[in-house]
Amino acid sequence: MWDPIWITVKLAFITTVILLVLGTPVGWWLARSKAWWKEAVAAIVALPIVLPPTVMGFYLLIALGPDSPIGQITTEVFGRALPFTFAGLVVGSVIYSMPFVIQPIRNAFEAIGDRPLEVAATLRASRLDSFFSVALPMARPGLLTGAVLGFAHTVGEFGVILMIGGNIPGETKVLSVAIYDHVEALEWGQAHILSAGLLVFSFLVILSMMVFEKRLGRRLR
């Protein structure tokens, strides 16, 4: 019973970290760029919200599979293709949860506006300097929201994982898949425990996020 929990937490944590590192510059670019094709990029980022997870999983399976260019590279470097590995789950989760992290970050950067950055520029701060000393600290509520949503969303992932991760105990079997298996095997007790745990977890996530946001928001207003 502990294996799926541990795999799920590890997956969600790694995914969130990767998304924060990738999502911050992308969110910044989406908030500040004046490029005409920026909304096209924004749409690609948002696509996983509307795309059925099985469709995404299917394409990922093909894109990462041993016969694809990416699959050939990973086989070359790691000795195997990504589907049905934990690394494959991470790649899938990063794409699947991307909009839930990038959107709040973008919104937070947009809410800052030009003025604080102009002020920073007149106070001798270079662009990079003002990004780290003004924009990032002012966007903290958005970064936090993004991290929490990204983590929680990854924990609940099911369709994509089933498509590209299969159901390998100890490697790719996450909580939601474990619940599904328990139900299939008519192990209601186990299913109840895991489901209730996830219910409580989800409630706590949303609650703490609301409280945190309120507090941070007040400090930054």
Partner 1 sequence: MKNTQSKEIIAKFSGSLDQFDLSVDVTLPARGVTALFGRSGCGKTTVLRCLAGLSRVDRGYLSVKGKVWQDGNYFLPTPKRPVGFVFQEASLFPHLSVDENLTFGQRRAGDRANIISRDDLVELLGLGALMNRSTHHLSGGERQRVAIGRALLSGPELLLMDEPLAALDRLSKNEIIPYLDRLFKTLDIPMIFVSHDTEEVERLADHMVIMDRGKIVSNGLLSDVLSDPALFIAEGPKTSSVIEVEVVSFSEVDKITEVRVEGGRLQIPGQLSDVGSKQRISIAANDVSLAKEQPSETTILNVLPARILDIHLLDGARCNLLLSIGHQNEDGARFLARITQRSLRKFDFAIGHNIYAQVKSVSMVGAKI
123 DSSP assignment? T
**Binding flag, residue 75, partner 1 (CB under 8 A):** no
Residue selected from 124, 184, 186, 189 as contacting partner 1 according to rule CB under 8 A: 124
In the numeric block, which tokens belong to residue 56? 């995404």
Q: Report, in Å, the least distance between residue 129 CB and partner 1.
A: 7
Nearer to partner 1 among residue 114 and residue 184 (C-beta):
114
Q: Report, in Å, the least distance between residue 211 CB and partner 1.
A: 19
Mapping DSSP to helix (H, G, I), strand (E, B) and coil, where does residue 83 land? coil
| Amino acid in position 129 | D
**Binding flag, residue 118, partner 1 (CB under 8 A):** yes
Residues 128-187 that bind partner 1 (CB under 8 A): 129, 133-134, 137-138, 140
Specify burial of residue 82 (Cβ count, 10 A radius: 0-12, 13-18, 19+).
buried
What is the number of helices (H) and of strands (E) in the chain?
Answer: 12, 0
Contact stretch for partner 1 (CB under 8 A) within 22-30, 61-69, 84-92, 117-125? 117-125
Residues 25-54 that bind partner 1 (CB under 8 A): none
Mapping DSSP to helix (H, G, I), strand (E, B) and coil, where does residue 41 land? helix
How many residues contact partner 1, by CB under 8 A? Answer: 20
Nearer to partner 1 among residue 2 and residue 34 (C-beta):
34
Nearer to partner 1 among residue 135 and residue 175 (C-beta):
135
Task: Give the max Cα distance, the chain.
Answer: 67
Residues near 52 by beta carbon (within 8 Å), at least 6 away in sequence: 159
**Binding flag, residue 121, partner 1 (CB under 8 A):** yes
CB 121 within 8 A of CB 154: no
Q: Report, in Å, the least distance between residue 27 CB and partner 1.
A: 18
Nearer to partner 1 among residue 62 and residue 138 (C-beta):
138
**Binding flag, residue 122, partner 1 (CB under 8 A):** yes
Residue selected from 60, 108, 120, 162 as contacting partner 1 according to rule CB under 8 A: 120
Residues near 27 by beta carbon (within 8 Å), at least 6 away in sequence: 102, 103, 105, 106, 108, 109, 142, 146
CB 141 within 8 A of CB 214: no
Binding site for partner 1 (CB under 8 A): 115-116, 118-126, 129, 133-134, 137-138, 140, 219-221
